[in-house]
Amino acid sequence: MDILKIEKTSDTPNVTLDSTNNLFEFSYRSLPENAIDFYNPILDWIEEYSKNPNNETVVDFKLEYFNTASAKQIAKVLLKLLEISKKAKVKINWYYDKNDTDMLASGQRYSKLINLEFEFIEI
Amino acid sequence: MNMLFLRKIGKTKMAESKFANLDFSLSLFDAMQKDNLSYIYRGIFNQQITDSILALTETNLQTEEQSSKMKKRVYAIMVEGLQNVTRHQNEKKIIDEDNLGLFVIKRTEERYYITTGNPTEKTSIPVISKLIKKINSLDKDELKVYYKQVLNEGELSNKGGAGLGLIDMARKSGNKLSYRFLDIDDVNTYFYLHTIPSLSNDENEFKKIAKNSLDNIVEIHNTLNKEDIRLIYNGILNQESLMGLLHTIEGHMSDIPDMKNKMFYIVLEMLQNIVKHGNNPTNHEGGNPGIFFISQKNGEYLLNTGNYISIEKVDALNEKMEYVNSLTDIELQDYYASSLMDFKINDEKKTGLGIIDLRIKSTNKLSYYFKPINNKYQFFALQIKL
């Protein structure tokens, strides 16, 4: 399967979705004005990947900030991963800055709403 | 007629009782209708803040049809001015609130006004005055010669370049430099440097304008000191300009990391709300007109935005604001969760999470008011306390 790699800009994150090397990561910031457009190719990739996922998928969320428009798209990403978790192991590593309790709270909210395994990692 | 309208609206749509600095917010709004752009920063200057101010102004310069010669001049004057303030703020070891550095850029239909302010010791008054008087007495060619002379002699202190900076600003502005010293105490004075770049040279007209506009800046500065306002932006809001403002805030808040994150989130949502939901009754393109200002009082930050909104959207927004303010913490979390997971409305504009998020992150009720403008638009002001 093709690797999806998106380089960060001042308002969008680094995204790596690489099934061959089993690397799945979102980092930096997600603040785009139009979050739907940004996340559509990501959702399409995960949809495709879900047809034949790896035995174990660990997704690292290392975001510094995201806006509410992205929050909704991230929820969609997690729901797609939830589908995968029905046939393979899926784990979310949710990183947060120790000064940023809002980022921790956001992760905890997702973990309550979406039945995936979450680990919260302070950096 | 207008008053009646206001009163009628007032009963149902103003939640202004808890709105701090209400008068100031309204006066800024009046200014917003007159100026095309104003940006004021009052505080500690560092590289990040300087960069973000330049970037933000550049974005605005790009969206306005001005001659590229003027743009370059404005930019060059800003660079020099910001360097001067940054250099001279370090002179005083103790910086108290009234002595913070100041940067102001203002643009009306006709021209730009660039002002910097910084405290300095009274002993430097004669030196600076003499230098500016000399610069102002020279014509374009003489300035060029004088610049080279000063450059070669390196005659000014090793802090240096201050003299060169002033000569350079005068050359770039194509105009005289205006300045003023105002006493701070027995030892210190506050130095304002005011530049009005011009492509044509009408000295008499300029003198009058400069006096009035500098008076105006000093007056604004007094208000900023009184209300402890740190940053004001009045101009077109789009993704680029809001990123610039966020960058300034990061620079300003870098020594208070936990507050910085919270402020970043809140300002981001407030400004993106304007970009997405605001309206534009003006003929300036590239975003929606809006104002944003931050004040600081007793360790609390007040974050303020103001923008135009179409009259037909007022009721729905007002209802939403009232509803969000009426909820308990637990209800807010539930409301956020249900909006987050509601994918039926797949329309970016209607996610509706922004206001709920602002209320949750600020942990305070949201203050706001609507002020009628005409039969099409109202002005919507939002204030968040941190």
Find chain B residues with C-beta within 8 A of A99's C-beta: 257-258, 260-261
B190-204 as b/e: b if 16+ CB within 10 A: bbbbbbbbbeeeeee
Given a cut of 70, whether residue B17 has pLDDT beyond it is no
Axis crossing angle, helix A101-113 with helix A68-84, rounded to the nearest 10: 40
Residue B100 lies in a domain: yes
- Of B189, B210, B227, the residue at which a domain comes to its end is B227
Sign for the CA dihedral angle at B65, B66, B67, B71 comes to negative
Longest dimension (CA), chain B: 72
pLDDT average, residue stretch B320-341: 95
Same domain, B221 and B89: yes
Whether residue B12 is predicted with pLDDT greater than 70 in this model: the reply is no
> Are B114 and B237 in a shared domain?
no
Are residues B374 and B255 both part of a single domain?
yes
Q: Single out the residue in B182, B201, B227 at which a domain terminates.
A: B227
* Residue B175 burial (C-beta neighbours within 10 Å; 0-12, 13-18, 19+): buried
Q: Is B369 in the same domain as B272?
A: yes
Domain endpoint, select from B227, B250, B269:
B227
pLDDT tens-digit map of B93-122: 555 666 889 999 998 878 899 999 999 889
B188 within domain boundaries: yes
- Per the structure, the complete domain to which residue B350 belongs is given by 1-34+229-386
With respect to residue B46, please indicate whether it lies within any of the assigned structural domains.
no
**Distance, CA of B298 to chain centre:** 21
CA-CA distance, B189 to B183, in Å (whole number)? 4
* Same domain? B374 vs B386: yes
User: In this structure, is residue B44 part of a structural domain?
Assistant: no
Handedness of CA B205, B207, B211, B214 (dihedral sign): positive
Q: Between these two residues, A2 and B29, which has the higher pLDDT value?
A: A2
Structural domain contains residue B61:
no
Q: How far apart are CA B283 and CA B143, in angstroms?
A: 40
Optimal mutation site among B238, B253, B258, B261, interface A, most CBs of chain A within 10 A: B261
d(CA B47, CA B55): 12
**B235 and B34 in contact (C-beta within 8 Å)?**
no
CATH number, domain containing residue B270: 3.30.565.10
Would you call B234 helix, strand, or coil by DSSP? strand
B90 and B168 part of one domain: yes
Distance CA B49, CA B86 (A): 10
**Domain tally for chain B?**
2
Could you tell me how many CB contacts below 8 A there are between chain A and chain B?
A: 63
Tens of pLDDT, residue by residue over A33-45, are 999 999 999 999 9
Q: Is it the case that residue B4 has pLDDT exceeding 50?
A: no
For chain B, give the mean pLDDT.
85
For residues B89 and B161, membership in a common domain is answered with yes
Q: Kindly list the structural domains of chain A, giving each domain's residue range(s) and its CATH number in brackets, ordered by start.
A: 4-122 (3.30.750)
B116 lies in the same domain as B29:
no
Within-domain flag for B292: yes
Q: CB atoms < 10 A from the CB of B358, how many?
A: 22
Chain B residues lying within 8 Å of A67, measured CB to CB:
268-269, 272
The strand ranges marked E within chain B are 37-43, 101-107, 112-121, 177-183, 188-195, 229-237, 288-297, 300-310, 367-372, 377-385
Does the pLDDT at position B153 exceed 60? yes
Which of the two residues, A58 and B29, has the higher pLDDT score? Answer: A58
For residue B354, what is the nearest residue in chain A, using CA coordinates? A68
Most confident of B71-75, B133-137, B202-206: B133-137
Tell me whether A69 touches chain B (CB under 8 Å).
yes
Least confident piece of the model among B56-70, B161-175, B283-297:
B56-70
Q: Is pLDDT above 60 for A17?
A: yes
Residues of B in contact with A76 (CB under 8 A): 343
- Put simply, the answer to whether B268 touches A31 (Cβ < 8 Å) is yes
Quick one: B249 and B220 in the same domain?
no
Query: CA B24, CA B220: separation in Å to the nearest integer?
Result: 11
Number of C-beta neighbours around residue A3 at 10 A: 12
Roughly how many angstroms between the first and final C-alpha of chain B, as a whole number?
38
Whether the CB-CB separation of B245 and B56 falls below 8 Å is answered with yes
Tell me whether residue B261 is in a domain. yes
What is the per-residue pLDDT for B94? Answer: 54
Residues of A in contact with B260 (CB under 8 A): 99
Query: Is pLDDT of B8 > 60?
Result: no
B209 and B267 part of one domain: no
Question: pTM to 2 decimals?
Answer: 0.87
Q: Using 50, 70 and 90 to split pLDDT, how confident is the model at A28?
A: very high
In this predicted structure, what is the pLDDT of residue B195?
Answer: 95
Q: State the average pLDDT over residues B181-204.
A: 87
Confidence of residue B92 (pLDDT cuts 50, 70, 90): low
What pLDDT does B5 receive? 37
Instruction: Find, among B213, B184, B255, the residue nearest to B38 by Cα.
Output: B213
Could you tell me what percent of chain A has a pLDDT over 70? 100
Q: In what order do the strands lie in the sheet containing B300-310?
A: B177-183, B188-195, B112-121, B101-107, B37-43, B229-237, B288-297, B300-310, B377-385, B367-372
Answer yes or no: do B121 and B214 share one domain: yes
Rounded to 10 deg, the angle between the B257-277 and B353-362 helix axes is 160
In this structure, is residue B170 part of a structural domain? yes
Of chain B, the percentage scoring pLDDT greater than 90 comes to: 48
Element (H, E) at B138: none
Secondary structure (DSSP) of B88-114: HHTTSSS--GGG-EEEEEEE-SS-EEE
Same domain? B307 vs B287: yes
pLDDT band at B300 (very low <50, low <70, confident <90, very high): confident
